[in-house]
Amino acid sequence: MTHISHYPPVCNALEADNGALRDAILYHLQYSCGSTKKEATQGELARAVMLAVRDLLTERMLATEKRYQQHNAKRLYYLSMEFHLGRTLGNVLANLGLTTLLARTMEELGVDLEEIREQESDGALGTGGLARLAACFLDSLATLDMPGFGYGLKYQFGLFRQELVQGYQKELPGRWDTEHNPWLISRPDEVFAIPMYGRVEPSRGRNNRYAPVWQDQKFVLGIPHDMPIAGAGGKTVNTLRLFSARSADAFDIQIFTANDYFQAIRHQLFSESVSKMLYPSDVDDQSLEMRLKQEYFLVACTIQDIMKKYLKTGGEISNFAQNTAIQLNDTNPALAIAELMRCLVDEHQLDWDNSWDITRATCAYTSHTLVPEAYEKWPVQLFEKVLPRHLQIIYEINHRFLHEVRLRYPDDENAPTRMSLIEETGGRQLNMAHLAIIGSHSVNGVAGLHSQLLRDNVFPDFADMFPERFSNKTNGVTQRRWLYKANPPLANLITSAIGNEWIIRAETLSRLDEFAADSQFQKQFAETRNHNKRSLADHIMRVTGLVINPDSLFDVQIKRVHEYKRQLLHLLYIIHCYRAIIEDGEPPQVPRTHIFAGKAAPGDPAAKLIIKLINNIGQVINRDTRTRDMLKVVMLPDFGVSLAEKIIPAADLSEQISMAGTEASGTGNMKLAMNGALTIGTRDGSNIEIMEEVGADNFFTFGLDADTIEELRTENSYNAWDYYADNPLIRRAVDCLDSDMFCQEEPGLFRDIFASLMYEGDYFFHLADLESYIDTQQQVNELYTHPASWRKKAILNIARSGKFSSDRTVMEYAETIWQLKPVV
Ligand code: 26Y
């Protein structure tokens, strides 16, 4: 592996005293793992290394907290049900500039650092982009020296592990050990008691004020566990605080003493199930109640914690919002609005209007989706059972809000129905997005187009009533994990050309612009790519047994598998190429390897069938001697951060082909462009902005735009059969799904896919975009036959990707939403 030596060393004391780190590792091997150097397993060694590194972080974490306290700094709390961290060790080493030192230390101990790093499993407490974005933000906040803290749940079971068994996705429990995780510092003494269920008794308090009493609740305890988050340079170490659920012993004891042993155990199970597992998808009815409890458990623990910390600083409740910002990562934690109101009104006896002002000034909401099913709604009946007091509060919020709506739109008698927090159609339901908008001072989307669609199509009434609340914050990714750490050969080359400032100031990547056409630089760039492509080819060989041609064009589509992301469109193109080879005798201009990776939601049969289709197509094509060396299709199992870190540095072409108007932003597109892949993409999400930045000449775009699709939808004038009839190549590709060409052993297997395209309206417009996609892929081939032109464009993609650093995104949030300042 390539070691990075150019990063500004921050741990000078350690650099100088090489022995200190070794001693720390040996110390933990003995005292934390109860082992010796001679006896230790790889797992024990890895644990000792991580604990030694954690010690360094802990010192800095305590110093950081002290600094924040001295400055009485405003703090941001980033509430998210999901954080997808990936591995931590390599990232911490990179950010602290300790990679070389540790590698040397391990060498002395006769251990390979790379093997130790492979021992760590991915912290996958999240399903997709929203979760990974949260992790990138934490990295940027710490790097920018900002007091920003993640708050989430410590699931016992994070995202499932994916195996491919005969081409089908099989779900297995994830491997991240949350019980004995070396990065987590558990704080059982800081426990919070969280009430739920019970009933509300009307009552009067001081001055005859209405003060209802929430009674007969069940309590679940929330235990905080802190994970240190080190920024680049290691000056600032923030924390990600994850709560786990425990049963409330005090209450159990009553039951135990009442001699009802089984009742006590049941209560324990009831409590601890709250943080048992991450829900991988839109949930079925049975798990609704558990999911509601999880969301409430997170916000209740968080609000109690924030309030406790704030009051400890001696702050007045009335100044709470000046010192606190809460960002809601989609609607999952939107209950924070109701919980903060409850806390202010019921526990601090503040009057309603002041409480409401404070709540709105504190909270801000980000939407991450355009998929209608992902807009959360809770059946009122269920909500009332679990959170009776919160329901009252939401009714009161709604009552006052609808009064405003009526005053504002006296002639629009339907406005209150459209904007209400309570939907009356399809059973009474609470609309969480409406609560999030009403209770926040800021609402943002995650790319320009997405934010515009939120204003125009999803929340037009709210955008009209509160135009100043709506804004856009285009997503970003941390270049430290996704370029500096994931791609050392390229990172070193970039640094040798323009210095290392880009690691903390991604906009300086633009200095590479002048190297794009430099033949010497191009040559070195090509060497890094060859190196990375060979490593990935080796990995593919190890995992799947498939031999691929490392000189072929690596065409990569890696992301959640979902119909709207249109892996199927990519597959139709592959089928088209395959038939062109075997039937028309037309070999492609350049050999290609199509690389897929991604998980389907366990409850999404359509997405699961696409996975099977990818694998079956691969099986047929890869063993067909007529296509040898020209065409290969591979799906790597268990997509996650670590696998992405292997694939992205080796990608030539980045597939970002969602139907326009469906992908809120995308962030894989940014990671790939930053590593020098060219994009083939629709005008969707942040693809549009990537194309603007890198230049239309350096980006392959195709397909209908969001407006046109919307128009065709409203007019009901799209008909897949027209495209099928007009283009024999399209027909030939699509017909394969109706035949058994790719499912000899399970005849008829893919007919449902054919039906969804041809008989059920092709909801995601595959056929409409297929011809222009095929044409554009042809342009890709042509360019690839001109390596110098291709490399120039690839280098320009890197040079112009600075905007897509999450440092930029976080600075925008900090300036315009959080009013958060660096504390140096
Ligand atoms: C409320 C619940 C059903 C829910 C659960 C998960 C709602 C949404 C989500 C997750 C959404 C998500 O991951 N969205 C992705 O967010 C990325 C970061 O902003 C975007 O880049 C990506 O386009 C979007 O699909």
Tens digits of per-residue pLDDT, 384-443? 999 999 999 999 999 999 999 999 999 999 999 999 999 998 899 999 999 999 999 999
CATH of 71-86+122-475+810-818, one of 3.20.20.10, 2.60.40.10, 3.40.50.10320, 3.40.50.2000: 3.40.50.2000
- Find the residues whose C-beta lies inside 6 A of ligand 1: 128-130, 133, 282, 330-332, 368-369, 374, 376, 446, 475, 663-667, 685
Closest CA to 197 of 146, 148, 248: 248
- Ligand 1, atom 9, lies closest to the CA of 374
Query: With bands split at pLDDT 50, 70 and 90, how would you rate the model's confidence at 16?
Result: very low
Pairing of β 148-153 and β 161-165: unpaired
Burial of 745 (0-12, 13-18, 19+ CB in 10 A): exposed
What CA–CA distance (Å, rounded) separates 24 from 31? 10
* Confidence check: pLDDT of 258 > 80: no
What CA–CA distance (Å, rounded) separates 280 from 267? 25
Write down the pLDDT at residue 265.
Answer: 78
Q: What is the DSSP string of 403-460?
A: HHHHHH-TT-TTHHHHH-SEE-TTS-EEEHHHHHHHT-S-EEESSHHHHHHIIIIISH
Closest atom of ligand 1 to CA, residue 82: 6
The whole-number average pLDDT for the span 249-276 is 74
Write down the pLDDT at residue 257.
Answer: 64
Residues near 312 by Cβ (< 8 Å), separated by ≥ 6? none
Q: Is 819 in contact with 325 (CB distance < 8 Å)?
A: yes
| The pair of three-digit structure tokens given for residue 786, joined into one six-digit string | 């001109």
Question: Which of 207-221, 415-429, 651-665 is least confident?
Answer: 207-221
Query: With bands split at pLDDT 50, 70 and 90, how would you rate the model's confidence at 567?
Result: very high
The whole-number average pLDDT for the span 690-697 is 98
Q: Per DSSP, which regions of 696-798 are E strands?
A: 700-701
Query: With bands split at pLDDT 50, 70 and 90, how would you rate the model's confidence at 5?
Result: very low
Write down the pLDDT at residue 2.
Answer: 33
* Confidence check: pLDDT of 211 > 90: no
Burial 441-457 (b: 16+ CB within 10 A, else e): bbbbbbbbbbbebbbee
Per-residue pLDDT tens digits for 62-119: 999 999 999 999 999 999 999 999 999 999 999 999 998 999 999 999 999 999 999 9
> Does residue 71 carry a catalytic annotation?
no
- H-helix or E-strand spanning residue 96: helix 89-96
What CA–CA distance (Å, rounded) separates 184 from 61? 13
> Does residue 662 carry a catalytic annotation?
no
Q: What is the DSSP string of 571-591?
A: HHHHHHHHHHHHHH----SS-
Write down the pLDDT at residue 251.
Answer: 55
The whole-number average pLDDT for the span 689-718 is 98
Q: Is 662 in contact with 370 (CB distance < 8 Å)?
A: yes
> Does residue 218 carry a catalytic annotation?
no
Q: Is 122 in contact with 176 (CB distance < 8 Å)?
A: yes
Write down the pLDDT at residue 266.
Answer: 79
Query: How many whole angstroms from 160 Cα to the centroid of ligand 1?
Result: 17
Q: Is 37 helix (H, G, I), strand (E, B) or coil?
A: coil
Q: Say if 71-86+122-475+810-818 and 480-804 have the same CATH topology.
A: yes
* Confidence check: pLDDT of 11 > 50: no
* Confidence check: pLDDT of 12 > 70: no
* Confidence check: pLDDT of 4 > 60: no
Annotated catalytic residue within 161, 390, 671, 793 = 671
Write down the pLDDT at residue 6.
Answer: 31
Question: What rounded mean pLDDT belongs to the chain?
Answer: 94
Domain ranges of the chain: 1-70+98-117, 71-86+122-475+810-818, 480-804
What CA–CA distance (Å, rounded) separates 359 from 303? 11
Write down the pLDDT at residue 177.
Answer: 80
- Ligand 1, atom 6, lies closest to the CA of 374
Residues near 271 by Cβ (< 8 Å), separated by ≥ 6? 218, 219, 220, 221, 245, 246, 247, 248
Write down the pLDDT at residue 8.
Answer: 34
Q: Percentage of the chain with pLDDT > 90? A: 90
What CA–CA distance (Å, rounded) separates 162 from 636? 10
How far, in Å, are 12, 25, 643, 791 from residue 105 at the CA level?
15, 10, 27, 38
Per-residue pLDDT tens digits for 720-779: 999 999 999 999 999 999 999 999 999 999 999 999 999 999 999 999 999 999 999 999
Query: How many whole angstroms from 129 Cα to the centroid of ligand 1?
Result: 6
Write down the pLDDT at residue 133.
Answer: 98
Q: Is 281 in contact with 127 (CB distance < 8 Å)?
A: yes
Write down the pLDDT at residue 180.
Answer: 86
Reduce the secondary structure of 229-250 to three states and give it as a string.
EECCCCCCEEEEEEEEEEECHH
Write down the pLDDT at residue 629.
Answer: 87
CATH of 480-804, one of 3.40.50.300, 3.40.50.2000, 3.30.300.30, 3.20.20.220: 3.40.50.2000
Query: With bands split at pLDDT 50, 70 and 90, how would you rate the model's confidence at 582?
Result: very high
Annotated catalytic residue within 565, 594, 766, 791 = 565
Write down the pLDDT at residue 352.
Answer: 97
Per-residue pLDDT tens digits for 555-565: 999 999 999 99
- Ligand 1, atom 3, lies closest to the CA of 374
- Ligand 1, atom 5, lies closest to the CA of 374
